[in-house]
A and B are shown apart, each in its own frame.
Chain A
Amino acid sequence: GAVVSQHPSRVICKSGTSVKIECRSLDFQATTMFWYRQFPKQSLMLMATSNEGSKATYEQGVEKDKFLINHASLTLSTLTVTSAHPEDSSFYICSARRTGMPQHFGDGTRLSIL
C-alpha cells in the first residue's frame, strides 16, 4: 500500500489563487521530504528539499517566495504555490525519505491554473 500520501490529487483554480498541497508519510517518520515538478513528457525536476523543523533548501531557479514549503513534523510537509499563474500549471510530486532508505513518492497533484 501507499507509504506517502499526497493531497489533493487534482486542483483547478483561477489565476492569482494560492494553492496548498499536503504530503504525508504514512507509516514512517521522514527525516527529509522533497518536492518535485514534472512537465508533460519530461522527467521529475527537484524543486526543494526540506528537513523537519528547518528551512527548505531550494534548487537554483526555484523562487522560494513563490513556492512556500513548511515541514512542521516528521510526517507532514506542505507546498503552497502563492499567487499561482498559468505557467505554474504542472504535476507536483512529493517524496519522503528516512535516513538509509530509498525515497518513496506520493501520487502527485495535477495543478491547473486558468
Chain B
Amino acid sequence: QKEVEQDPGPLSVPEGAIVSLNCTYSNSAFQYFMWYRQYSRKGPELLMYTYSSGNKEDGRFTAQVDKSSKYISLFIRDSQPSDSATYLCAMRPNDYKLSFGAGTTVTVRA
C-alpha cells in the first residue's frame, strides 16, 4: 500500500464547475500538507499549503485537512480552462522529505 493514495482520474468538468480533489494517507507523522499544480511538460508549482488540520482558502482554491481521518481535499470554485493541469497532493513530517500522491489530471472544458 502506498503511503499517499490519490485517484489519478482523469477528471473532466465544464467551465464554472467546482472541482473536488482528495488524497488519503497512512503515515500519522505527516504534519505539513500541500497541493502542487503541474502543467504539461513543466515542473510542479506550489498551490496551497496547510499545517496540521483545518481549512485554508486562497481565492478560488480551498484546502482542507482532516488528520483524524487521514484525508485531505482541494476544491476549485468557478473552474477555468486555465486550471487544466495535474494536481498532486504532497505531505511530510517534520523533516523535509515530501511524499507525493500520483496526481489527478483535470480538464476544464470551455
Q: Do A and B come from one complex?
A: no
B residues in contact (CB < 8 Å) with A: none
